[in-house]
């Protein structure tokens, strides 16, 4: 892994650095580029604007690694409030939610995470939308896929996320490429050991293409989450090869990244879904975005040094 990326991801776990970054005034400016705001109202306002632009949305209430049942409950309540608001604003058909199981108690107890995720799925069902389970570091993959299988027994539309940097993912893609199965394929955003993950960007990209082929040739609904222009072109070519029409798969990108490309793909007739995070716990999310791109980090450090 790129040393700068490892350093930033390590800093993400350091409490002192977290305090400095989280309280520096400039952080707010940088955060605004990637995060919709702290409240449900702000999240819904951003979703409304994106939907008006012809995009679809998945909203993520920020929070992860919860080791406290009260905080997990607060996360569930935030999702219930959000889902009701999406319905009330007439957005449910074009805006779904993404949920991190670690934010609803996975580290405490898998069955607590399952119960909490079930409440969110039941509300999504009532309000006419869907849920996708984000994927976190590799120690949680099996647990997350177990919870996914349980949820899908009641709500077959629950989306999975698979990460092409993991060596296991081609097998997972093949297994999950079944009728109606919504699978988001991303490269993966956590610091992982070489025993489980490909180390070089090139290997991760090759794996992404192998996994994309497995998903496109199967019967499921693939969701390609990447900003990578080369991969987007290859996916277009492979989708045509497998006879996939635009409505039978979708592209996804993060809020604040390559917004022009998001609109371009939507104008070509593709479903383009924007992942919109919101809420007060933006630190871990911001650090992963900075780790992905040295230019973002340089911008941030310069601003911290001059204004923080
Ligand atoms: P890559 O990082 O190689 O970037 C390709 C190009 O995209 C860059 O050259 C640049 O032009 C642009 N770009 C990428 N990141 C940028 C940034 N931060 N700022 C500015 N430009 C940038 N991960 C995970 O582990 N679990 C998950 O559940 C999810 N969920 C998820 C949902 C959605 C909708 C997306 C788009 C991504 C995720 N991810 C994720 C994150 C994912 O694993 C990955 O870290 C990022 O998408 C970056 O990888 P790319 O495929 O964009 O390629």
CB 234 within 8 A of CB 212: yes
Q: Which residues are catalytic, by number? A: 134, 184
Ordered DSSP codes for 259-285: HHHHHHHHHTT-EEEEEEEESS--HHH
Q: Percentage of the chain surpassing pLDDT 90?
A: 77
How far, in Å, from the CA of 292 to the mean position of ligand 1? 7
Q: How many C-beta atoms surround the C-beta of residue 190 within 10 A?
A: 18
SS3 content of the chain, % helix, strand, coil (to 5): 55, 15, 30
Q: Tell me what pLDDT residue 308 has.
A: 36
Please tell me the residue having the least CA distance from ligand 1 atom 14: 227
pLDDT at 301 exceeding the cut of 90 = no
**What topology is assigned to 35-281 in CATH?**
TIM Barrel (3.20.20)
Q: In whole angstroms, give the CA distance from residue 240 to residue 20.
A: 49
Atom of ligand 1 nearest to the CA of 223: 34
pLDDT band with cut points at 50, 70 and 90 for residue 5: confident
For residue range 148-167, what is the model confidence (pLDDT) as tens digits?
999 999 999 999 999 999 99
Atom of ligand 1 nearest to the CA of 296: 19
Mapped onto helix, strand or coil, the DSSP state of residue 16 is: helix
- pTM of the model as a whole: 0.92
Q: Percentage of the chain surpassing pLDDT 70?
A: 89
Output the ligand 1 site: residues, CB below 6 A: 134-135, 161, 163, 186-190, 225-228, 252-254, 257-258, 275, 289, 292-293, 296
Mean of the per-residue pLDDT values of the chain: 91
Q: Which residues contact 135 (CB under 8 A, 6 or more apart)?
A: 141, 144, 160, 161, 162, 163, 186, 188
pLDDT at 29 exceeding the cut of 90 = no
């Amino acid at each position: 892994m790129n040393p700068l990326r490892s350093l930033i991801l390590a800093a993400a776990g350091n409490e002192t650095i977290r305090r400095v970054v989280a309280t520096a005034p400039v952080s707010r400016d940088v955060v605004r580029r990637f995060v919709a705001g702290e409240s449900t109202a702000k999240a819904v306002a951003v979703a409304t604007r994106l939907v008006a632009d012809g995009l679809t949305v998945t909203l993520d209430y920020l929070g992860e690694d919860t080791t406290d049942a009260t905080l997990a409950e607060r996360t569930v309540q935030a999702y219930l409030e959000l889902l009701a608001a999406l319905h009330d604003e007439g957005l449910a058909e074009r805006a779904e939610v993404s949920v991190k199981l670690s934010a609803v108690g996975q580290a405490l107890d898998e069955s607590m995470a399952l119960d909490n995720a079930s409440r969110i799925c039941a509300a999504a069902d009532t309000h006419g939308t869907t849920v996708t389970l984000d994927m976190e570091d590799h120690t949680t993959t099996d647990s997350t896929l177990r919870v996914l299988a349980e949820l899908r027994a009641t709500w077959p539309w629950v989306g999975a996320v698979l990460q092409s940097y993991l060596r296991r993912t081609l097998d997972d893609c093949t297994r999950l490429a079944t009728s109606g199965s919504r699978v988001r394929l991303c490269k993966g955003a956590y610091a992982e050991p070489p025993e489980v993950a490909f180390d070089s960007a090139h290997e991760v990209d090759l794996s992404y293409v192998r996994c994309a082929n497995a998903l496109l040739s199967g019967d499921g609904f693939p969701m390609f989450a990447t900003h990578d222009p080369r991969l987007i072109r290859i996916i277009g070519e492979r989708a045509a090869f497998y006879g996939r029409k635009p409505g039978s798969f979708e592209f996804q990108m993060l809020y604040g990244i390559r917004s022009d490309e998001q609109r371009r793909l939507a104008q070509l007739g593709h479903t383009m879904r924007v992942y919109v995070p919101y809420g007060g716990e933006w630190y871990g999310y911001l650090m992963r975005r900075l780790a992905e791109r040295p230019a973002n980090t340089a911008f941030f450090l310069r601003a911290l040094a001059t204004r923080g």
